[in-house]
Amino acid sequence: MKKYLYLTASFIISSNIAYAADAITRESIEKATGVSIGYNTSWSSHYVWRGESQSSKDMSPAIGVDLGHSSGFYLGAWTGSITNGTHGAEFDVYAGYAFDLGPLSFDIGDLYYLYPGESNEVQFNEYYFSVGTEIPLSMVADDFSVSPYVYLAYAPKWFGANTPDALYTEAGIEAPIPGTNFSVAYTYGNIDIDDLEGDGEKGADVDSWDYYYITVGFGELLGLDTSVTYHNAPGYSADAGQDGFFVSLGHEW
């Protein structure tokens, strides 16, 4: 037991030293080059993407890395486990440019979805654009504000070289709960697949569907950003289980 405790303590101390050294190194790089490096990891009890289950209600761990420049340009990569169809994992790479114009924050970029082990016809590209802002509402409470945004994405070939294009629109708003570390967010989106033959990716009855999320964020609990989300896709009829709750845990460093 003493040996175990000693090894555990040594591991924690070594990890903290390594983390501090990494933070110092990254800070030095950012000061010298303007390039920032960030990592993120997350765990979700159910991976839902645009109203559609990607993990068959199973848990899904994920990890990502981001490189950003002081000019606003950035690139990154993200990977997570999925159990949708025959896919076992999803790997995303993206690059873009983010900037502020007055009170508005803009983001424009390109995202590529890869599914290792699948044919190239399944991989697809997507262009995205978003704009958001923060609106102070001091009449509600001191330092209180709401943050609305709009997000648009276009995929020329949705899930395959011979499939139709798709347009994705989303709008949302987030607000803190005064006097707490909690927050509430609401998201409403739509995906519209251009399917002239009427036999789209998920069936003729779901070439287009709406969805929404309601998320309560609890801030950091035990060092992890924690939230609970209710999701629903009322127009999605090709598969069951497109509504329910899931828990998300995440950490960035």
Res 116: pLDDT = 85
- Token readout for 118 is 């699948």
CB-based contact 132:111 (threshold 8 Å): no
pLDDT single digits (tens) 233-243: 876 655 544 67
Half-sphere exposure of 181 (CA within 13 A, CB side): 8
Average pLDDT on 17-32 reads 64
Measure the CA–CA gap between 123 and 119, rounded to whole angstroms.
7
Closest-CA residue to 47 (of 93, 76, 84): 84
**pLDDT tier for residue 33 given thresholds of 50, 70 and 90:** confident
- Give 7: exposed, middle or buried? Use CB within 10 Å, 0-12, 13-18, 19+: exposed
Average pLDDT on 62-71 reads 95
pLDDT single digits (tens) 212-253: 999 999 998 888 999 999 998 876 655 544 678 989 999 998
CB-based contact 214:227 (threshold 8 Å): no
Residue 97 has pLDDT above 90, yes or no: yes
**73-81 vs 48-49, strand pairing mode:** unpaired
